[in-house]
Structure 1
Amino acid sequence: MTTAQLFIVTGACGSGKTTVIPELRRLLPRFVVFDADLLQPLEYAISGWSGLAWNVAKSDIGMIVCGNYLPQHFEPIRQKFGSHIHFLYLNLHCSDAVRRERLEARGWEEFLIEYSRQFAQNMLELTNQVQPPIQVVVTDHLTVEETALRIRDWVLTHYKKPLATG
């Protein structure tokens, strides 16, 4: 049986997830990097990640999913696959002021900005409640390239080639 790793780059809207994807693809050519915003609805996207991670691992390639997921979204997959899929989370975070500026520039309404602020707060509260703990990268003053380098370093620190266990 194969053991797969699923690297999840999460964070509230406006934190830089989608913006960093092209640079991650350039820096990590042996990884498949997905933009979860393109896969909806959420329930179908999450259930699909386990199968994708499993098949990608069998190809000796790493997998990164960028989307605003909470760890509990993946609990059904963890229960189904047990120790055969390892989930690692990195939270891209920005201050409320920077998030507001970024989302207002997109024309977002106030209730959506508030929802995003609450999501960001929830992610910070979960940081030490997940094992391994969620890595946090604050993007307020980082360029896209600097953010991508931080993510790359985190991924390469934790990446283990898929293990055939049977």
Structure 2
Amino acid sequence: MKHILRTIWDSQFLFFLSLVFIGGIYLLVKRPDVKSKSDLIEINGTLKSVDQVLVYFKKIKKTENDSTYHIRLNEFPCFFQVSYKKWDSKSFSKNAKYGDRITFNISKNDLESLFKFNERVRTFSIKSNDKVYLSVDSGLKGFGKGYFEYSVILIPLILLIIIVSYRLKK
């Protein structure tokens, strides 16, 4: 009985690790290839809506840092995601009005996503009414180097290799 339970546990854990590994690959593939300002393009539009989306579960204390923002423009069916700690979200929420002209910098890789309904497009800068709420430099710094995606791939892969090699030796 103990052997059967161990086999079930191992198979479910291996399945879970495989899903996390595949999810990490998906995140890495969907990540825009942005290293400098030359990889970005400027997009202009008219503000349609701003939604604050909490990214953590209900039990965790929600603060401004726990949020990501989805901004929609009249000209595009996609939504623009902003989730950087360094952007001035309070001032943007206070000053930006529906119908204002908004300027974003997005990855050149995301040009196709602009015209897909409910597709997420990551923004690297926000400017409205001659006020900069997120500078390009801050957006590029906040984007990071992809270490999270690599860790989501490597940790489950290493665990899978260890578990499978251990089971094969037995």
TM-score by length of 2: 0.22
- Greater helix proportion: 1
> Relative contact order: is structure 1 or structure 2 higher (C-alpha 8 Å, sep ≥ 6)?
1
Which protein is bigger by CA-based radius of gyration? 2
So what's the TM-score if we normalise by structure 1? Answer: 0.22
